[in-house]
Structure 1
Amino acid sequence: MKEILKNLVQIFYPDLCAICEDKLLQNEHTICTICRHDLPLTNITNYSDNKILHTFYGSVIIEKAFALLFYTKKGIAKKLIHELKYKDNEDIGIFFGNWIGEILKENEEFKNVDVIIPVPLHSKKIRERGYNQVTKFGERLSYHLQIPLVENNLVRISSTKTQTFKSRFERFTNVDTQFSLKQPKYFNNKHVLIIDDVITTGATLVACAKQFQKSKHCKISILTIAYTA
């Protein structure tokens, strides 16, 4: 009976590709095969020396960094991140969590990571949006890598207005975004993997990473779905 109802729902409300909005085939999930082939992959193979790491030079020491997609103003990645962030399409986070999780499980680049930390939203933003766009992403990474996802220890203590119309320099030097670490000692001698949806200037991730510098001998790595080319 459940299968019959499921099939009826699919007839009247079929799953659509998050990019082209065509009907997904039976074995497709979230993004159709054709659009998946068009995704702007970074093809990063060196996790300890790449353009993402260079973003953080002079600010914080980052062990490793990775992003799957290039992000541009009019590109596919922007549409996907917008859908994930503002359109309640958490399936996108699940899709990329599974994809990246499988990649990292195979190459073991982050095998020495102890905890996964999602960049937190301010409580006000959570109430407005109803979810943190990287939670499902982090849950799938945690599943594939068998590394615990630790939420609610790193907290955002300031709520900022959208930075969409600010210049790159203004966004990077914005001091309004502040974070706090509840239990710095918990992260002593740990390797922390901070995750987010996209890296633009890197300012938010720098602010997060600096909180973990309060812990003794804490190593920090960065992982996002997309990276601004």
Structure 2
Amino acid sequence: MSILSELTHGVGRLLFPVRCPVCGGEMPPGSRVVCTRCRYAVPLTGFCHATYNPLWERLSALVPVEQASAFLYFIAGSGWRELIHRFKYDGAWRLARDMGVWYGHSLAESGLYDAVDTIVPVPLHWRKRLRRGYNQAECLAEGIGRAMALPVDRCSVRRVRNNPAQALHRREERWDNVEGIFAVRHPERLAGRHLLLVDDVLTTGATLLSCAEAILRAVPDCRLSVAVLAVSQREFGLDG
């Protein structure tokens, strides 16, 4: 970077300081994704370092998953909840990708995901994707793929029904809302591979499990692992 570029960059930061998406404080120079204080205070689950973790126990009771991880806890009222809402609803897709890179490095360091061949994001229906402009699960998957040097398959699994948002339904209705909404268009691309199914937030798990079931029905010889960015602290009974 030239002296002029450094000066321009410094003036830009002075006039328009970059804010931490979690606490809103000014980002120190050299900080990535969140500020240093928030990075040390991130509510990590530690799931990526243990096969037998609460997420794996819940999912493996319903579908055959080899590994399952969530990076952090989704805590009501916290700045981390606001971070997720920013990339989910406010167009901050780069933030989702950067969080994916951070998460991907943790998955790679654990060694439990070394056998994964391909990353598959949980797809959005094309109408919702067109309205939003992106799929946040795909952005996360791209970041994870970058950190783990793995390809992302965006085409083989499709959302064939534009179901209403899960948040609009009571818990007992969510399973019916996601029944039959996914289809595998190119099963030959996934055959015999170890897939990492990626999504942003898991609460009841109905959407992710519906996607997993569709994949396993269409490609019975594939292996499946799961990585979600966040799980509800309340859902896992960890409110303290």
- Relative to the length of structure 2, the TM-score reads 0.87
Aligned to 1:156: 159
Aligned to 1:105: 108
Distance 1:162 1:212, change over 3 A: closer
* Secondary structure of the corresponding residue to residue 32 of structure 2: coil
Aligned to 2:200: 197
Gaps (5+ residues) in structure 1?
Answer: none
Identity percentage of aligned residues: 30
Which moved further from structure 2: 82-91 or 174-183?
174-183
Deviation of 1:162 after TM superposition, in Å, equals 2.4
Out of 18, 37, 40, the residue aligned to residue 37 of structure 1 is 40
**1:174 maps to amino acid:** N
Higher helix share: 2
Gaps (5+ residues) in structure 2?
Answer: 234-240
> What does the per-residue CA deviation read over 1:101-138, in whole Å, with 9 as the maximum and x for residues that have no partner?
22222222111111000111111111111111123321
**2:229 maps to amino acid:** I
| Aligned partners of 1:77 and 1:226 also within 8 Å | no
Structure 2 matches for 1:86-105, cutoff 5 A?
86-105=89-108
**1:151 maps to amino acid:** R
> What does the per-residue CA deviation read over 1:71-94, in whole Å, with 9 as the maximum and x for residues that have no partner?
133233321210110111223223
| Aligned partners of 2:157 and 2:185 also within 8 Å | yes
Aligned to 2:77: 74
Aligned to 1:7: 10
> What does the per-residue CA deviation read over 1:37-67, in whole Å, with 9 as the maximum and x for residues that have no partner?
2221112255422111222244311110011
| Aligned partners of 1:55 and 1:201 also within 8 Å | no
Aligned to 1:146: 149
| Aligned partners of 1:185 and 1:216 also within 8 Å | no
Which moved further from structure 2: 59-68 or 8-17?
8-17
Q: Which 4+ stretches in 1 moved above 4 angstroms?
A: none
Matched residue count = 229
Aligned to 1:228: 232
- Relative to the length of structure 1, the TM-score reads 0.91
Distance 1:171 1:78, change over 3 A: farther
Distance 1:224 1:85, change over 3 A: same
Distance 1:172 1:190, change over 3 A: same
* Secondary structure of the corresponding residue to residue 164 of structure 1: helix
Aligned to 2:54: 51
* Secondary structure of the corresponding residue to residue 70 of structure 1: strand
